[in-house]
Chain A
Amino acid sequence: MNKPHRLRWQAAAIMTVAALGVAACSSSSSSSSSPNSSSSSNAALTASAPGITPTTITIGSHQPLTGPAAPGYSEIAPASNAYFQYVNAHGGIYGRKIIYKYLNDAYDPTTTASVVRQLVLQDNIYALFNGLGTPTHLAVVGFLNSEKVPDVFVASGCDCWNQPSTYPETFGWQLDYISEGKILGQYIAQHFKGKKVAFFYQDDEFGMDGVKGLSYEIPSSMVVSKQSYVDTNVNIAPQVAALRASGAQVVVAFSIPAFTALLKLDSLKLGFNPTLVVSDVGSDPITLSGLLESFAKQGGATVNGNQLTNGIITDEYLPALSTTDSWYNLFVKIHNQYDAKEPLDGNFFYGMSVAYTFVQAMLNAGRNPTRADLVSTIEKGLPQGPMVAPFAYSSSNHLGVTGAYIGTIQNGVVVQQGSVLTTDTTATGPVSTYTGSEQQAPVSGIPSPSS
């Protein structure tokens, strides 16, 4: 019997190939050091922290470039990267260039866990920037904090990022969903008095936080139905039928863009036409209109996306996309130079704005920052930059922006209604009018150190 012989062969083959396979993977690409003239130097630039060399700052992110959350959101990281390239071309951060490495997690938490470990353990990033999604980022927030990696400006409005004692490295950026729910809720309670209101929300932290905020402001007697969906099941016909059966006149949606579009189309099919109020996350008019048209096409129908989004009520913490806005003009200029293949929509604006905030924080952190320097500098507070309301950053508050304005979608753009409103995440905290004014974009396009 030559069985033993064969087994030995197999064993030898397995071991050789396994060894080769893993060894080959370990030859990671070394960071490319590009010569760069350092501007007006006083202290020499040093490799002051992991991911920082005298010429570069490497940061990383996990983003849904494919999968259910990709429509719209996949444009955010390229927009941020475009802003970083603009900064790099105009002197960088004290002469250092930003290298932004964002990996696709397809909105799957297991993949997030894997790609973030790659970024931290192998690519040696200085900070994780703008990791997108609540369920995905929750899979890595513990790991990042135990590795002491700054976890800045998470692209999710979960108030779970605001736990400075448990997660000292983690900071939110966008308006949290509870505050957002309160701002939308107050508007509904004031403008739709006596109407029947229903909620449509994603069955996770995002949707439930939003509903929590709404419930603080909308009397429960007005609410006739609460329907939830999970982002892996695109059949929401039962929920829409239930909304219709409840006789709701106003439907408030805390949904991602794909499901806002499905809600609209399924309602249309049933001849159900309530006033739609959609959270900022799921209401970008350009993304929505594209999704509406492509979904309808898959179903063999033709619709006009812009027509269908008309009249949707939403909230915005970034300025309206209008040529009279200095930030919009700045970001469009950068977009056309570095990111021209992506559409000019709310996601592009988001990506540029969050990158601007990061550059501001890095400039504040000093010439040779450690990881701890970035955290402590954000805790000292940041100027609001493009946001319409101030940030709440302090050593006891790691949430981001504190307010937004109500807008309605008209012909594919969000038109501001009334003034900016600010609030907090508590049940009793008032929703009040913000009296401060918006900042103007710097002429250079780059923030100056503010502390």
Chain B
Amino acid sequence: MRTLPRRLGVAIIVAAIVAILSIKLNAFRDYQIAEIAVEVTAVAGLTVLTGVSGQISLGNGAFMAIGAYATALLLIHLGWPFYVVLVVAAAVTAVTGAVVGIAAARLRGPYLAGATLMLGVALPSIAYVYPATFGGDQGLNVIFNVPSFLGVNFPLTRWQAWVSTLVALIVLVLLANLDRSRIGRNWRAVRDNDVAAALDGINVAAARVRAFVVSATSAGVAGALLAIVTGLVAPGAFTITLSIALLTGAVIGGLGSLPGALWGSLVIVLVPTYVTDVATGHGLSSSVGSNIPIVAYGVVLILVMLVFPQGIQGGLRRLIGAFLGPDPKSRTWRHAPAPHVTPSAGQAPASQHEKEGTPHE
């Protein structure tokens, strides 16, 4: 495994750069670094699920909610250290992911999208049903402080940025290794042709469930980070908009690509702030002016998809490829099939639908 040390190297370099940036930039930029790290963690899990294993999920926001509420409840009631809480929260979402995955492995395309959509809409509402436990609409307040060895003047936002980035990088390294392992190869085989995969001796259903568990766990970890970054876990934060934003990030960045998860997260975190700054106050009526950022965001998304149909990472790879000349060995087999598992999975080749009900299901 020569790739592992290399990935660790890249991760350490990125960590060093983030550390330097977080000291150089103001506290709000630190907060945005933390937000991006949260987003990357969740989007990376989803991009593996959708881009590599070929399943769609509109419910990853719900897994984030599970991770976030688990974190809040453990911190409030048991007061464990955060790294322990993080592991437990990840385990809780992994179990939930397995249960959902077992059901999801039987569904395809729009049916899978529908089932996960239901999860994304319904699950956060549980907080309204049990306000005594989950704090209802007000949510739960999470206290997360800078450890004492850093001194009293160490900014909280910088510490949040460090913790989130570290966790995000660990998740990314693990996902990258998984992606390159036998498990990742099996996912691609299942994605491209499940009958052929089954004939090769791959347990198709198990591979699908595994992908769901991995994706849900990443989302759970992201939820745990979100809890300590915003300091509040409330159902209003986990609406269906969040799940869709995650999918947007994965598609914009480039489905199935982990660097793409970073590009996608940068777009969904930074673009709305930029366009808001541009749009405020030009003598427009509030109903027009306040919707301009949303329109601008939509235009950015459309432009990116027009210019880079394979997402930002796909576009970058093409640009770099144009400079370095063709690189047939590594490009063609690994990434080419990604485009036909776009969100409208209903348009997947008909042959895939006809083959439902193979011996493994």
Chain A positions near chain B (C-beta within 8 angstroms): 1-4, 6-7, 9-11, 13-15, 17-19, 21-23, 25-26, 28-29, 65-66, 70, 74-75, 77-78, 101-104, 107-110, 113-114, 117-118, 120-122, 134-136, 138-139, 142-143, 203-205, 230, 232, 341-342
Contacts and interface: CB of A to CB of B under 8 A. Distances in A.
Given A2-B330, A13-B320, A114-B31, 10 more contacts: A2-B329, A6-B327, A25-B270, A65-B289, A104-B293, A110-B242, A113-B231, A134-B137, A135-B236, A232-B239
Interface in B257-292: 259, 262-263, 266, 270, 273-274, 276-277, 280, 283-287, 289-291
Contact of A7 (B10, B33, B237): B10
A14 B128 contact: no
Contact of B232 (A9, A17, A122, A138): A138
A107 to B, nearest CB: 7
B26 to A, nearest CB: 6
B28 A118 contact: yes
Contact of A121 (B26, B35, B270): B26
B290 A21 contact: no
B136 interface: yes
A9 B236 CA distance: 40
B17 interface: yes
Nearest to A138: B138
29 contacts: A2-B327, A2-B329, A11-B13, A13-B259, A15-B14, A18-B14, A18-B17, A19-B21, A21-B266, A22-B29, A22-B33, A25-B274, A26-B24, A66-B290, A66-B291, A103-B276, A104-B276, A109-B232, A109-B234, A109-B236, A113-B230, A117-B27, A120-B28, A135-B138, A138-B234, A143-B231, A203-B128, A205-B138, A230-B128
Contact of A204 (B138, B226, B259, B273): B138
A17 B313 CA distance: 12
B360 interface: no
B232 A342 contact: no
B25 A26 contact: yes
7 smallest beta-carbon distances between A and B, as pairs: A65-B290, A204-B137, A341-B285, A122-B28, A121-B28, A121-B27, A110-B237
Contacts of B138: 134-135, 138, 204-205
B208 to A, nearest CB: 28
B276 A135 contact: no
A108 B330 contact: no
B96 interface: no
B294 interface: yes
Residue of B32, B33, B327 with most chain A CB atoms under a 10 A cut-off: B32
Contact of A26 (B29, B241, B289, B327): B29
B125 interface: yes
A232 to B, nearest CB: 6
B196 interface: no
Interface string B1-35: 00100100010011001000100111111011101
A43 to B, nearest CB: 31
B262 A14 contact: yes
Contacts of B24: 26
Residue of A70, A107, A117, A118 with most chain B CB atoms under a 10 A cut-off: A117
B301 to A, nearest CB: 17
Contacts of B184: none
Contacts of A3: 3, 330
A11 B10 contact: yes
B174 interface: no
Given A6-B330, A66-B290, A74-B287, A108 B29 contact: no
A104 B290 contact: yes
A145 to B, nearest CB: 12
Interface string B139-161: 10100000000000000010000
Contact of B32 (A25, A109, A142): A25
B141 A9 contact: no
A341 B27 CA distance: 37
A138 B327 contact: no
B158 to A, nearest CB: 11
**Chain B interface residue bracket vs A:** 35 or more
Contacts of A2: 327, 329-330
A122 B237 CA distance: 23
Contacts of B270: 21, 25
Given A108-B241, A114-B31, A29 B230 contact: no
B41 to A, nearest CB: 15
A28 B32 CA distance: 14
A3 B176 CA distance: 14
Contact of A122 (B27, B226, B242, B284): B27
Contacts of B231: 113, 139, 142-143
B316 interface: yes
A124 B291 CA distance: 25
Contacts of A203: 128, 136-137
B170 to A, nearest CB: 16
A15 B286 contact: no
Contact of A117 (B31, B236, B320): B31
A142 B141 contact: yes
Contacts of A107: 236
A70 B26 CA distance: 31
Interface string B207-244: 00000000000000000001000111010110101100
A120 B155 CA distance: 14
A121 B157 contact: yes
A204 B26 contact: no
Contacts of B285: 78, 341-342
Contacts of A70: 290
Nearest to A10: B259
A83 to B, nearest CB: 15
A440 to B, nearest CB: 30
Contacts of B230: 109-110, 113-114, 139
B137 A9 contact: no
A65 B279 CA distance: 12
Contacts of B32: 22, 25, 114
B276 A121 contact: no
Contacts of B329: 1-2
B360 to A, nearest CB: 32
A290 to B, nearest CB: 11
A121 B270 CA distance: 16
Nearest to B25: A26
Contacts of A204: 136-138
Nearest to A206: B137
A203 B3 CA distance: 52
Contacts of A14: 10, 14, 259, 262
Contacts of B226: 110
Contacts of A6: 327, 330
B277 A342 contact: no
A204 B284 CA distance: 33
Contacts of B28: 117-118, 120-122
B17 A15 contact: yes
A440 B244 CA distance: 52
B44 to A, nearest CB: 13
Interface string B72-104: 000000000000000000000000000000000
A135 B235 CA distance: 10
